Amino acid sequence: MSDDGVPALRWRSRRRRCDASQPPKPTALVAVTASVSVKDYPYPFLSVGTTLGVLVATMAPTRVAGAEHNREDSRAFEGRQIMMQKQWRRSMVTTISLALLLATGCTPAATTGQPAQVAPPAGAVTPSTPAAPPSSTPAAPPSSTPIATPAADWPQVVQATQSGVGRIAVTDCNVAGAGTGFLIDSTHLVTAAHVVEGAAGITVAVNGQVVTATITGLNASEDVALIKTDRPVTGHAFTIASADPPIGTEVGVLGFPMGENFAFDTGRISGLNRQDGPVFNGVGHITQTDTAINPGNSGGPLVTISGDVVGIVNSVRIPVLNSSGQPVSPVEGTNYVVSGAFAKTLVDAWTTTPAPVALATCDANALPTDNQVSVIVGTPDERGVQVAQSLLIHAQAINGGAYRMAYSVFTSAAQAQQGGIATWSAGMNTSYWHSIDIRDITSIGGGITANVSFQTTQDASHGPNGQTCSSWHMQYTLLWDGAIWRIDKAAAALPSDPC
């Protein structure tokens, strides 16, 4: 918690650094702060040019061989040479024609023994010919020769897979954070362990849907976790590769850098088995890449051009610091992911035999905070799902009696207006949120406003006009803290309606 009472921000990404004044410590990771608290982290297609090059390379010796007959009669030699050149030219023209046809996906017409039909010059009048009578012979079936499919490119990969990449927002009572995960089926996402470890509430925004989640399996030393959504969601289901790609393989990372909007970047695999080096000291199964990685990318998928996952974003390397904390040398393009092949063994085991990890509780009498709250995001603005995640954390915390966690979604100014958590939470124990509908988002100076409708049930003594079920219509003013949108002000846009 910061001095001004605002819950500290936790980046869900690891950073690795070394101190030039002392040897690296086993498994020691250094938290980096920049006015916020940082969680410890450290085809097989032949082109025309290629085809012609092969043809020239294999045919050129034929011409040279003809020149080696220098002991024969000059007249006979010249005659043979001319004949060979003519034959070679005919062969070359035919072969090049075939090469061009194959490269463009065409097939040469069958030879019929009939002279080729020459198109008449422009404007010429050609005599009409009677149409041939229908043939009684069945038409030949179409060729079954497959048509070559172009290799996928990165825009195609992103378009095909983006719907399966989820933004994960978490809170552990006082600290909020954001990371990335990816679907492997309709209810499970893989992410980094440090994204969800110690969480009291987890929400996932994927393919326009916002749901709560719990932990199905977690391995902190390998930095891999599997979470399960409270209900099925739609989106691309990723496949995790069974083997690590070779060094030099082009890869791309998908995720939510800085906890903000979806982004994609590319790079290459630059090293394997990096856990054997001084940075990791034998811990984990680590692959190195020069792909750009930022806080918020943690837990996201590193994929090949085929769309298969070969790594789970783990950490970035930061500059070596001297005893005064000043950078000694820059570190560029040195980022780390958990080996996808190894992570697959953990994920497969948890899918077959779950090993659930309980969410943290913020209050002694709090209930589990994975209550069912339906969420609708009715705006295409990407900030809509981010607001929905903040309000869902708030709502599920209220439902579970985790009032400290719910209270942490307010800014420090809003907390002061509430008169403290005891005053704000008085009588809250009968209130339950059931649905949230994000209607629209509007930018304002330093933040946004969101028109939101939600439905609650409560005792009549705590409901407006004695209502036990209410539909609320609120306009929230929210401020971005680097991980989630926090509620700064709330005002009724319309009077509440009974359900």
Residue 378 domain-assigned (yes or no)? yes
What pLDDT does residue 362 have?
78
Residues 79 and 177 in one domain: no
DSSP conformation letters of 57-84 = HHHHHHHHHHHT-TTS-HHHHHHHHHHH
What pLDDT does residue 328 have?
65
Residues 402 and 347 in one domain: no
**Residue partners of 455: CB distance under 8 A and separation at least 6:** 433, 434, 435, 469, 470, 471, 472, 499
What sign does the CA torsion over 28, 34, 36, 42 have? Answer: negative
Q: Among 352, 383, 407, which residue terminates a domain?
A: 352
What pLDDT does residue 214 have?
94
Cα distance between residue 212 and residue 174, in whole Å: 18
Beta strands 374-377; 432-444: pairing state? parallel
Residue 367 domain-assigned (yes or no)? no
What pLDDT does residue 200 have?
87
Are the C-beta atoms of residues 210 and 377 closer than 8 Å to each other? Answer: yes
**Token duo for residue 208:** 């326009």
* Type of residue numbered 413: A
Cα distance between residue 398 and residue 392, in whole Å: 10
- 301: domain CATH number is 2.40.10.120
Residues 427 and 342 in one domain: no
Residue 470 domain-assigned (yes or no)? yes
Are the C-beta atoms of residues 252 and 154 closer than 8 Å to each other? Answer: yes
Residues 453 and 314 in one domain: no
Residue 364 domain-assigned (yes or no)? no
Q: Residue 298: count other Cβ atoms within 10 Å of its Cβ.
A: 35
**Token duo for residue 229:** 């959504």
Residues 239 and 386 in one domain: no
What pLDDT does residue 364 have?
65
Residue 108 domain-assigned (yes or no)? no
Residue 133 domain-assigned (yes or no)? no
405-423 core/surface letters (b: 16 or more CB in 10 A; e: else): bbbbbbbeebbeeeeebee
Residues 260 and 223 in one domain: yes
97: nearest Cα among 140, 48, 50: 48
Residue 122 domain-assigned (yes or no)? no
**Residue partners of 125: CB distance under 8 A and separation at least 6:** none
Q: Please count the structural domains in the chain.
A: 3
Residues 14 and 59 in one domain: no
Residues 22 and 52 in one domain: no
- 419: domain CATH number is 3.10.450.50
Residues 34 and 53 in one domain: no
Residue 265's domain comprises 9-43+155-352
Residues 25 and 53 in one domain: no
Cα distance between residue 211 and residue 206, in whole Å: 8
Residue 114 domain-assigned (yes or no)? no
Residues 317 and 210 in one domain: yes
**Token duo for residue 288:** 């190195």
Q: Among 297, 322, 352, which residue terminates a domain?
A: 352
- Name the one residue in this structure whose structure tokens are 């470890």: 197
Residues 161 and 30 in one domain: yes
Per-residue pLDDT of the chain (499 residues; tens, 9 = 90+): 444 444 444 455 454 444 444 444 333 333 332 323 223 322 222 222 232 233 223 223 333 333 334 434 444 444 444 444 444 334 433 332 323 222 323 333 333 333 333 333 333 333 444 444 444 444 444 433 444 444 579 999 999 999 999 999 998 777 788 999 999 999 999 999 999 999 988 999 999 999 999 999 999 999 999 999 999 999 999 999 999 999 999 999 999 999 999 999 999 999 999 988 777 878 889 999 999 999 899 999 999 999 999 999 998 777 667 777 776 666 778 899 999 999 999 999 999 999 999 988 877 666 554 457 899 999 999 999 999 999 999 998 888 888 888 999 999 999 999 889 999 998 788 899 999 999 999 999 889 999 999 999 999 988 888 999 999 999 999 999 988 999 999 999 999 999 9
